[in-house]
Amino acid sequence: MRFHLVASLLAALAAVTTAIPTEQALEAWLKGPQGRKSPDHTSPRPSIHCHPKSPGRPPPFPQPRHKVCYVRSHNDGVTDDSTYILDALHSCNNGGHVVFSEGVRYFIGTALDLTFLKHIDLDIQGYVLFSNDTTYWQAHSFPFIFQNVTSFFKLGGDDVNIYGGGTLDGNGQVWYDLYAKNIYTLRPVLIGIDGLHNSIISNLVLRYSPEYYHFVANATNVIFDNINIAGASKSANVAKNTDGWDTYRSSDITIQNSVINNGDDCVSFKPNSTNILVQNLWCNGSHGISVGSLGQYVGEYDIVKNIYVYNVSMHNTTDGARIKVWPNSPTELSGDLQGGGGTGMVQNVTYDTMTIDNVDYAIEVDQCYGQSNLTLCLEFPSNLTITDIVFKNFQGRTSKKYQPEIGAFACSSGTVCNNIQATNINVLSPNGTNDAYCLNVDESALDVTCTSTYKGFN
């Protein structure tokens, strides 16, 4: 029943392909029957099903909770409620249900280590706002070891169930403006996960993250369901690097039934992401569903393997399905992002059933990521192999940006990039062509018209 509600919403959104869903419509849906509170003001735990595709591992099955803790708040939007939050989490850990009450504002100004959680429900009904003290957060947010990622809080543990229909607000505007002045600013992600297992995060509204909305590291058997993401800049300074999800050193992750309006990857599989299912997403304004970037760091062996992406609707994005790998030569994509020379593999990745609406490239395989000099890329082919990749059942129209091309298959060498298939690709550019740039690939396996001109090279 619940899946059909989600599917109905996604179908309605897809029918108006270039429209962003209104806050009123989404909030009304989130407060439907699945969001009604019990007499003790706790939310019913959502019944989560993975459909139509099933993950390779049985989903988590949270046990009943036997204690309820209500989080206190100063409710003034300026006084730090972190102590109240920690008190409730410790009191109800190991078998409890923690409630962030509906209609209450919670203000967080302290970095919180929440990796101790176990057998607990976090029922977020209210509004959680993180402070805009950029000086404090740059000094105290939790660092990860990948691409300067930090987080407001570090979420970890076992059997953690988070839901409730409430909002987490990263107060991103101050960060968007600060990053425009200094690209070395350390911007926290909204939800930083480190060592979370057998857990479900669902029915949440996420707004204005300074950087990624989710960074999922060292996690296993976690489901994300019914997440609504949005948060564009209100100034001339763009909200950059606001990926919906980035997975890193994690396996058996499911991301499904969600609406994402952002300015970077809708979902990105970073190094050592395996056994991941993504399905039933509506993505607007993003950079696509992306593998990588990989091979950035010399001495690191990156793996992305066993990925299935199904039934994704892409609107007003730079890419639909994307694989991006650094070449085996040092290169600088930007002042704060450079690399190349790493090793590893991308293997068994399938993109199945994707709607393309005003997307620059429906499909992009780029083994020269960050390197605008094609001669150097071919002279120093990537050390990271790409094999057993399937793109199938794509439909729609690209933007005018790269027409007549609808995509690109750019491998630095046929020996490190092979067995790439694209079938039933019913995507056209605005002028009616289905051209694609093809380099060092088996053109007979691609349902496009191959050309030798790459309009989208970095």
Active site residues: 287
Residue partners of 162: CB distance under 8 A and separation at least 6: 121, 122, 124, 199, 200, 201, 202, 204
As given in the structure block, the two tokens for residue 166 are 């409430």
Q: Coil, strand, or helix at residue 10? A: helix
What is the C-alpha to C-alpha distance for residues 226 and 108, in angstroms, rounded to an integer?
A: 24
Region of residue 223 (left: phi > 0; alpha: psi -120 to 50; beta: else): beta
Decide: 406 and 359 in contact? Cβ < 8 Å.
no
Decide: 358 and 315 in contact? Cβ < 8 Å.
yes
Decide: 200 and 223 in contact? Cβ < 8 Å.
yes
What is the C-alpha to C-alpha distance for residues 114 and 98, in angstroms, rounded to an integer?
A: 13
What is the C-alpha to C-alpha distance for residues 116 and 167, in angstroms, rounded to an integer?
A: 23
Q: Coil, strand, or helix at residue 333? A: strand
What is the C-alpha to C-alpha distance for residues 187 and 144, in angstroms, rounded to an integer?
A: 12
At residue 134, φ and ψ (nearest 5 deg) are: -65, -30
What is the C-alpha to C-alpha distance for residues 137 and 209, in angstroms, rounded to an integer?
A: 13
What is the C-alpha to C-alpha distance for residues 15 and 10, in angstroms, rounded to an integer?
A: 9
In 208-330, at which residue ranges do the beta strands (DSSP E only) sit? 214-217, 220-230, 245-248, 250-261, 267-269, 273-284, 289-294, 301-315, 319-325
Residue with tokens 């067995």: 419
As given in the structure block, the two tokens for residue 77 are 């939007």
Q: How many helices and strands in the chain, by DSSP H and E?
A: 6, 29
Q: Coil, strand, or helix at residue 432? A: coil
As given in the structure block, the two tokens for residue 86 are 């920690």
Decide: 161 and 200 in contact? Cβ < 8 Å.
yes
